Amino acid sequence: MSAFDLFIQTALFGLSNGFVLALIALGYTLVYGIVELINFAHGEVYMMGSFMALTVIAATGVTFSDGLLPRVLVILLALLAAMLFSGGLNFAIDRIAYRPLRNAPRLAPLITAIGMSFALQNVGIWWKGSRPVLFPSMLPSSDVLRDWLHIETNIAVSFPMFFVVLVTVPLLIGLTWFIRSTRLGKAMRATAQDREAAALMGIDVNRTIGLTFLLGGLMAGAAGLINGLYNNQVAYNMGFYAGLMAFTAAVLGGIGNLTGAVVGGIFLGLVTAFSDAYLSAQWTPAIVFAVLVLVIVFRPSGLFGEQVVGRA
Amino acid sequence: MNRFKRFLAFIVITILVVPALAACGGGASTPAPAASPASPAASPTGDTSKGTIKIVSSWPLTGQAEKVGTDSVKAVQMAIADHGGAAGGYAIVYEPMDDATAAKGAWDSAKESENANKAIADSDVMVYLGTFNSGAAKISIPILNQAGLAMISEANTWPGLTKKIEGMTDANEPDVYYPTGKRNYARVVPTDDLQGSLAAQWAKDLGAKKVYVLDDTELYGHGIALIFADAAKKLGLEVVGGPEGIDKKAPDYRALMTNIRSKAPDLIYFGGITENNAGKLAQDMRAAGMTDVKFMGPDGVFTEGFIDAAGSAAEGAYATFGGLPASQLTGKGADWYQRFKQQYNEDPEAYAVYAYEAASVALNAIDKAGTKDRVAILEAVRNTKDFNGLLGTWSFTDTGDTTLKTMSGNQVKDGKWEFVKTLELAGQ
């Protein structure tokens, strides 16, 4: 493998992980944009999504040896289940832990967020145990470039990598469309800009905020399934690290800014991959956060500025 | 309406929180039901005229090492029951302590320190069994040392805890762990300097020429990786990279493995434990196209958890282990293995037999001392000579190490760890 191939290969690995991060980061940024709250339980919502997906797949009994159609159907079913479960969970978290504190000092919902995070981790232990669990591989491991397009290359693009992009991009487009072009999206933007004015205009603010949590949860659930199928391993504590990275990505892009979250996620994915491949893997977390510090020092509002959801 | 909503919120919270509490409770109470056979209520058959002595243990009972921990608890309970529930004229009470937290999923330094302090404060406690992790032992040895409480570990393999090894252990080791200057620690497993050297020798026997060394940046993993790399060089193997630490929480290692592949090693050695993502490493190594490259690790990956996490990628992986697996033991050991399987309906984790051995050493020492005195019992533990246990006949050296020098080489075959060969240092 030549140096150039290695570079491209590393970038591709970075992109795949970056897309998953972007999906999670959206949940942080959506919620921050509208209620200025860091939802610390969001990483756990993502973990719960992947557990749900795993449970659904296990329940159907479909494995890799089954035909293509049943596998596609099961993946779709698991995607739907994970998204709805995580979305509903995030909505419920808002309803239970944040909404009663809507007018309380800022620290109060932050503490309940951390509390929710711990509670959900324990639910995770109760659900799937405290050891990492193998997520069955349902996707063919064939190479997109070599096996399907018959291109002679050293660069490996396995189907799971392609799958990450295949699922993530439509979700991102769908989310953008929803926020830009629907009445509910408009209500979200209005609430983000000025909650009281929005309420005066007849927008049900609490419902709109709930909707935002639901959307963030949907994305996290999808990320849970994608990560499971891509990395083939889930654990009750995976949400903490993923959440930390995704939160960093959101801050990097400019928290509250949707484009920023996606770009931040992909950027972090790339930084991680390049650091793993070219520097020492041991230093990767340090490098990630050093990059964060640098960006924040020179651009305190992140790469894309701190815009409310509306101007994204 | 408002009341109804509150009621609804209450119900939802209950639904969310109760399983969480159940999960916590479940973790803490796991050892409890199993503890009954060893408790004094189980009417010890031995002489208990002098009162009670308490033995405690401290190793993870939650998190990824949970199975090893609970199996070890069962093994200690068996040892005490086999000894008639009494020793030296005292009834033996056993209290397993957990040094892991659910939040961390692994041993926690604050928890370990709390356990050690709890043990020295309880005047009934005469022996402290554990720890599982060498890093945890670094915390508890000095605490117990000040109280002169005997500590016997079933699994600490970091050499620096008892001896000085040039180029490996820290300059102030091992004295830094014994502030009183008097040793209070012994262990029934051979240490990593032996394991790392044997692994390198085995790698060479397997035909490896270029090796890449990774570690999980922890005391145990990094130490063993250093020795492996060092021994490999001495044996004429080329170390093409490392010892390099990994980010043990990363979701994947594809980029790292692609880079390693470009260096074309024929064996990757991972100094580390299952809990630090060894399974994912093996997966991504295979996924990066290194299907013919061998994967080898120390006893830290010699767990069922490694196979569970790596799935089919675990197939063919090698691991050294500081002794024979329970299924390969002969005589007393084989008998114990059968009894464990019968009693608990499953194979014991590899370290369970060491936990049994450690507990037996403790009970024998209490017998010999015949008094409820920490100094006398510690003396008896340290003077253990020609002990005829499950592992064979062995003694403690002056440093508190075992005289056993054989280890086993194991490989994953059809989704199970299988014993391959006995490893012994050549030319020594």
**Each residue of A255-303: pLDDT tens digit?**
888 888 999 999 999 999 998 888 877 788 889 889 888 888 888 888 8
* A92 in contact with chain B, both atoms CB, cutoff 8 A: yes
- For residue B236 the two structure tokens come to 């004429």
Contacts of B19 (CB under 8 A, 6+ apart): A122, A123, A126, A127
Q: CB within 8 A of B422, min separation 6: which ones? A: B324, B406, B407, B408, B409
Res B149: pLDDT: 93
| Mean per-residue pLDDT over chain A, rounded | 87
Task: Kindly give, in sequence order, each residue whose CB lies less than 8 Å from that of residue B376, ignoring residues fewer than 6 positions away.
Answer: B369
Give the pair of three-digit tokens for residue A295: 């960006």
Q: Which residues contact B405 (CB under 8 A, 6 or more apart)?
A: B190, B194, B424, B425
Tokens 């596609």, located at residue: A72
DSSP3 helix / strand / coil % (chain A, rounded to 5):
75, 0, 20
pLDDT for B1 equals 46
Residues of B in contact with A6 (CB under 8 A): 258-259, 262
Tokens 């309906």 map to which residue? B345
The pLDDT, as a whole number, for residue A79 is: 94
A-facing residues of B in 236-255 (CB < 8 A) are 244-247, 249-255
Contacts of B293 (CB under 8 A, 6+ apart): B265, B266, B267, B268, B285
Best B254, B261, B304 member to test A by mutation, with max A CBs in 10 Å, is: B254
Using DSSP's 3-state secondary structure scheme, residue B186 falls into: strand
Longest dimension (CA), chain A: 63
Phi, psi for residue A129 in degrees, rounded to 5: 85, 175
Task: Answer whether A134 sits within 8 Å of B308, measured CB to CB.
Answer: yes
Beta carbons of A131 and B309 less than 8 Å apart: yes
Name the residue among A13, A236, A241 with its Cβ closest to that of B254. Answer: A13
Closest chain A residue by Cα to residue B289: A156
pLDDT of residue B10: 58
Round to whole Å and give the CA distance between B323 and B327: 11
A145 pLDDT band, cuts 50/70/90, is confident
Can you tell me the distance from the alpha carbon of B32 to that of B388, in angstroms, rounded to the nearest whole number?
Answer: 30
Nearest CA in chain B to A286: B247
Contacts for B233 with CB less than 8 Å, ≥ 6 apart: B239
pLDDT averaged over consecutive 10-residue blocks of chain B (428 residues)?
57 54 40 40 66 93 84 94 91 93 84 92 92 91 92 90 81 88 91 87 88 87 88 88 83 85 89 86 86 88 85 88 78 90 88 92 93 92 91 90 86 87 70
Cβ <8 Å between B9 and A273: no
Confidence of residue A43 (pLDDT cuts 50, 70, 90): very high
Complex ipTM? 0.75
Q: Give the β-pairing of B392-394 and B294-297.
A: unpaired
Check CB contact of B332 with chain A, cutoff 8 Å. Answer: no
Report how far residue A206's alpha carbon sits from residue A210's, in angstroms, rounded to the nearest whole number: 6
Given a contact cutoff of 8 angstroms between Cβ atoms, the answer to whether B233 and B255 are in contact is no
Can you tell me whether residue B239 is helix, strand or coil?
A: strand
CB contact under 8 A, A233 and B283: yes
φ/ψ of B251, rounded to 5, equals -70, -25
Yes or no: say if B245 and B272 are a contact pair by the CB < 8 Å rule. no
State what percent of residues in chain A have pLDDT above 90: 37
Chain B touched by A146 (CB under 8 Å):
no
Q: Which residue did the predictor score with more confidence, A9 or A148? A: A9
Q: Residue B54 has what DSSP assignment?
A: E
**pLDDT tens profile A168-216:** 999 999 998 999 899 999 999 899 888 889 999 999 999 999 999 999 9
Q: Find, in chain A, the residue whose alpha carbon is nearest to that of B18.
A: A123
Q: ∠B172-B227-B106 over CA atoms, to 5°?
A: 75
Contact at CB, A281 and B256, closer than 8 angstroms:
yes
Q: Which of residues 227-266 of A touch B (CB under 8 A)?
A: 227, 230-233, 235-238, 241-242
Are A210 and A22 a contacting pair, CB within 8 Å? Answer: no
In our burial notation (b when 16+ CB lie closer than 10 A, e otherwise), range B266-296 reads: bbbbbbbbbbbbbbbbbbbbbbbbbeebbbb
Q: d(Cα B309, Cα B412) in Å, to the nearest integer?
A: 13
| Interchain contact, A156 vs B279, CB within 8 Å | no
Q: Does A274 touch chain B (CB under 8 A)?
A: yes
Predicted structure pTM score: 0.71
Six-digit token pair at A80? 């739907």
Distance CA A20, CA B179 (A): 50
Q: How far is A311 from chain B (nearest CA, A)?
A: 32
pLDDT of the residue at A208? 92
> What contacts A95, CB < 8 A, 6 or more positions away?
A210, B9, B12
User: Would you state the pLDDT for residue A62?
Assistant: 82
- Say which residues have a Cβ less than 8 Å from residue A215's Cβ, sequence separation at least 6: A30, A87, A175, A178
- The reported pLDDT for the residue numbered B7 is 59
**Residue pair A99/A209 in contact by the 8 Å Cβ criterion:** yes
B251·A133 Cβ contact <8 A: no
